[in-house]
């Protein structure tokens, strides 16, 4: 299956694909028996769909392409160039910003996947040139309140436009949301402990 086939079928990346072949005696007959391949995830795989972050801590989201991103090559005065694919990151419900007022923060709001030029297309033959892990650092911001406003955050990922016919399967593609759990397991928080003590001779706390 090619990018052209996926475009014709109206499919984007992050789809599961499998092929079925069969044998038939004539064009109009139904196959007498079929054989199906294993399913294959074609797109940008999020390797850790759920993150756990300590309060005021950080964690790393990892993304790896399972198919190469190939954009259109533009040549100007003998110099070739391509446009990268941008993966945009945001926290839903916060006006599409990549920083949430109470909970999450990102060091950068997008990640770029580079593409090789037409002259360097042979580099796609070696998967180690494109099947690599991209890291995104996610931080927990602290609003200095005693209680966390939100222990659970959602991070949304989506690609922008892409240049070239085949690259359109990468354009404006959504990912499954990444869920972030903010963990607070310290009793003595910020060096202070909240507790009460009573005189053992008292039977009530009203004096």
* Residue ranges per structural domain of the chain: 44-183
What's the CA gap between 131 and 188, in Å, rounded?
44
Predicted pLDDT of residue 196: 64
Predicted pLDDT of residue 189: 55
Task: Give the model's confidence band at 202: pLDDT under 50 very low, under 70 low, under 90 confident, else very high.
Answer: low
In tens, the pLDDT along 67-107 reads: 999 999 999 999 999 999 999 888 876 555 666 545 677 77
CATH class of 44-183: mainly beta
Predicted pLDDT of residue 152: 84
Predicted pLDDT of residue 99: 62
Is pLDDT at 127 greater than 80 in this prediction?
yes
Contact by Cβ (8 Å): 52, 183:
yes
- pTM, two decimals, is 0.75
């Amino acid at each position: 299956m090619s990018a052209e086939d996926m475009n014709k079928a109206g499919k984007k990346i992050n789809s599961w694909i499998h092929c079925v072949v069969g044998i038939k005696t004539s064009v109009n007959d139904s196959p007498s028996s079929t054989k199906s391949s294993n399913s294959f995830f074609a797109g940008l795989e999020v390797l850790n769909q759920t993150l756990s972050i300590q309060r005021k801590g950080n964690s790393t989201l990892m993304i790896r392409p399972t198919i190469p991103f190939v954009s259109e090559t533009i040549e100007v005065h003998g110099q070739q160039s391509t446009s990268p694919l941008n993966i945009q990151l945001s926290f839903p419900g916060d006006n599409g910003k990549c920083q949430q007022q109470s909970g999450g923060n990102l060091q950068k709001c997008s990640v770029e996947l580079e593409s090789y030029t037409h002259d360097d297309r042979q580099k796609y033959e070696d998967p180690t040139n494109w099947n690599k892990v991209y890291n995104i650092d996610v931080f927990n911001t602290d609003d200095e309140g005693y209680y966390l406003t939100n222990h659970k955050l959602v991070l949304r990922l989506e690609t922008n436009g892409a240049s070239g016919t085949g690259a359109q399967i990468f354009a404006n593609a959504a990912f499954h949301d990444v869920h972030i759990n903010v963990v607070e397991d310290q009793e003595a928080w910020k060096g202070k402990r909240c507790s009460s003590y009573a005189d053992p001779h008292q039977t009530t706390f009203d004096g």
